[in-house]
Amino acid sequence: MEEIILEPQEIKMISTERTSLIPTEPKRDPAPSGRKRNTVRWLTRALAASLTMNMLQWVIIYILQAGPI
């Protein structure tokens, strides 16, 4: 490994506020707000209820079409 030797002028150019030579990752978008999270939760529950009702209707219609056994 080579040793890096900096001149005094180059040392002055280095920012003292920087603590790492590795660039930081850009900040990610914040988590969804409570209102958006509630909306997603409500839509999920509505979808589950709708699918359950459809399955129940299919079973009832199947039984009614079979008629008396």
Render pLDDT for 18-35 as a digit per residue (tens, 0 to 9). Answer: 666 666 666 776 766 777
pLDDT of residue 67: 73
- Answer yes or no: is 16 within a domain: no
Query: 40: which residues sit within 8 A by CB, 6+ positions away?
Result: 32
- Answer yes or no: is 28 within a domain: no
What is the domain range of residue 42? 34-69
Distance from first CA to last CA of the chain, Å, rounded?
88
- Answer yes or no: is 24 within a domain: no
Task: Please tell me the distance from the alpha carbon of residue 68 to that of residue 29, in angstroms, as a whole number.
Answer: 60
Total number of domains constituting the chain: 1
pLDDT of residue 53: 97
- Answer yes or no: is 49 within a domain: yes
pLDDT of residue 49: 96
- Answer yes or no: is 1 within a domain: no
- Answer yes or no: is 23 within a domain: no
Is the pLDDT score of 65 beyond 80?
Answer: yes
Look at the pTM and tell me if it is higher than 0.75: no
| Residues shown for the chain | 69
Exposed, middle or buried by CB within 10 Å (0-12, 13-18, 19+), for 35? exposed
Higher pLDDT, 31 or 2: 2
Q: Which two tokens stand for residue 45?
A: 């529950």
- Answer yes or no: is 13 within a domain: no
- Answer yes or no: is 5 within a domain: no
